[in-house]
């Protein structure tokens, strides 16, 4: 007769332990977003220094400095809303990392194409 164990069963991940494809996908997305983020950060620093040097108020300069952060910030915040669900939190953590990297990439791309790219010329 087979023995059964009535205690707590071990938790298994839905995708098994193969996390490296998700981590690789997330890293590739971060590498793709890197140059655009660098240009956005450089633009924010230039706007901040020029605004303060021209005698602008700190509140006005802070508003202009935070404006370019909206795209990447929203790109990170929208996938984070999915973490409110307990079912999503049980998913493979590497897949969630790739999802957040995708949100950052999309938010940065929208910001770059819609605002920074046309401003550069």
Q: How far apart are CA 3 and CA 47, in angstroms?
A: 70
| pLDDT, tens only, 4-17 | 666 665 555 555 56
What is the model's pTM?
0.73
Q: What is the pLDDT of residues 53-108, one digit of tens each?
A: 999 899 989 888 888 888 888 888 888 888 888 887 788 888 888 989 999 999 99
């Amino acid at each position: 007769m087979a023995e059964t164990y009535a205690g707590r069963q071990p938790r298994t991940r839905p995708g098994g332990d193969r996390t490296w494809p998700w981590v690789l996908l997330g890293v590739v997305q971060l590498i793709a977003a890197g140059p655009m983020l660098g240009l956005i950060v450089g633009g924010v620093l230039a706007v901040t220094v020029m605004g303060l040097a021209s005698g602008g108020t700190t509140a006005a300069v802070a508003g202009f400095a935070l404006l370019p952060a909206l795209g990447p910030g929203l790109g990170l915040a929208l996938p984070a809303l999915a973490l409110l669900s307990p079912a999503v939190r049980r998913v493979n953590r590497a897949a969630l990392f790739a999802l957040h990297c995708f949100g950052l990439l999309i938010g940065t791309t929208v910001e770059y194409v819609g605002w920074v790219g046309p401003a550069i010329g």
